[in-house]
Amino acid sequence: MAVSPADVAVELGRPTPTGDTLAQWESWIVEARYLIGRRLGDINALNQGDVDYVVKHAVADHIRNPDSATQVDVAVDDARVSRRYTSGAGRVTIIDEWWSLLTPQGGVLGGAYSIPLGSPWSTP
């Protein structure tokens, strides 16, 4: 199953967008999948449930805080409402916790002195 804008909308508790917003969400889904493939190789070789989870949450987080705003204040008459955000990257970001879900060894991609199979130093 691939993530769709409808899946992200459910995660956010919003209706599925239409028009330009729908296209933007689709673009962010593609971007999240690209980032995963760029870092870990063939995305189809990964657990697709984990990939979908990470993509959905990365896009939802980006929608919640797309521009790295730290505080927004709205004042009407005597009332004032403030909303504080933690600083974001301004783009779709996959946090370390999600990367560890995607890696086959639970976050270990290889360490010091590790030699991948098929390296020039391995013997048949």
Instruction: Retrieve residue 89's tokens.
Output: 């990257």
CA separation (Å) from 68 to 9, 17, 23, 55?
A: 21, 22, 21, 19
d(CA 31, CA 91) in angstroms, rounded, equals: 9
- Residue 32 CA, chain-centre distance (Å), reads 5
Mean pLDDT of the chain: 81
Q: What are the pLDDT digits (tens) for 35-71?
A: 999 999 999 999 999 999 999 999 999 898 776 566 6
Please state, in angstroms and as integers, the Cα–Cα distance from residue 87 to each residue in 12, 68, 74, 108, 111, following that order: 19, 5, 19, 27, 30
Q: What pTM value is reported for the model?
A: 0.69
pLDDT of residue 119: 45
Separation CA 109–CA 99 (nearest Å) = 10
